[in-house]
Amino acid sequence: MSTSAPDPAAATASTSVEAVAVAPEGEHAKRRGPGRNLPAAIGVGLALVAVLALSVLVVPQAFPVLAAIAMVAAVLELTRALAHGGLEAPAVPLLVGVIGMVVSTVVFGAEGLMLSTAAAVCVLILWRVSESMGLTALRDVAGGVFALAWVPFLGCFLLLLMQRDQGAMLVLLAVLGPVGNDVGGYIAGVLFGRHPMAPGISPKKSWEGFAGSLVLGTAMVTLIAVLALELPWWVGVAIGAVLVVVSTCGDLAESLLKRDLGIKDMGHLLPGHGGVLDRVDSILLAAPTTYVMLEVLLP
């Protein structure tokens, strides 16, 4: 019985094939992949922008209802997420607080928002301590106050912007700034991302992506400010740059919270995006920032 010697050419070819198969993997490991269902993400994103534009430009009376629905969904997602960390924030007073804060803001403006927020916190405390006392109740109340402050309190600044002159365009400015931040950061991160921004918090965020966010986010805000609001160009650039920084901080803060809670997404309602809170996290910070900057730059 004879045994044939290994064919050197075949061995060389096999090694070459393995090298070709492994090399691209190493090369692309440095680059951020799509990381999501891109067709679904694009479709859902365009649908959300269309619904927003319709509500603020065509049927402005529907915008508070749309905002309330989004805040209720976001608070429900947040309470479920906090439950993973052992915080049982009571959902009923939180949801009642959301509706009360929205209605009060629409009817009474900023004063109504402040008073309704204080009332919602008081109701939350009384509701929780009526069930039990102690350290657990204190932690649950803290989680509930955090939910009220993060979602409905910050979100109601969109309603305050809507009440100003050219309110519809101000709302679009506060929303499209974070949208430009996300889109610009995603495209630049996928194409050029090499240097992680905060690998311990969000490994996919890169400094190259942040540069893309800064360019597209600032450009979108400046276009709206100059063409629709007739503001000086430098006001648009200033607001746009600040909104990009704030939006990025909002994304990183939510990523840190999800990492601490041991979850990937806040929810699964929006295909390609995760939950409602995953989509509006940066908008929640951009809305009050826009409101304050307009007060400072255009008193």
φ/ψ of residue 197, rounded to 5: -85, -50
- Packing angle, helices 63-84 and 135-148, rounded to 10: 150
pTM: 0.83
β strands within the chain, DSSP E: 196-198, 202-206
In a structure prediction context, what are the per-residue pLDDT tens digits for the chain, which is 299 residues long?
444 444 444 444 444 434 434 434 344 334 555 556 677 778 878 888 899 999 999 999 999 999 999 999 999 999 999 888 888 888 999 999 999 999 999 999 999 999 999 999 999 999 988 877 777 888 889 999 999 999 999 999 999 999 999 999 999 999 999 999 999 998 998 899 889 988 878 878 899 999 999 999 999 999 999 999 999 999 999 999 999 999 999 888 888 888 888 887 787 777 666 788 888 889 999 999 999 999 888 76
CB 176 within 8 A of CB 220: yes
Q: Provide the 10 A C-beta neighbour count for residue 51.
A: 12
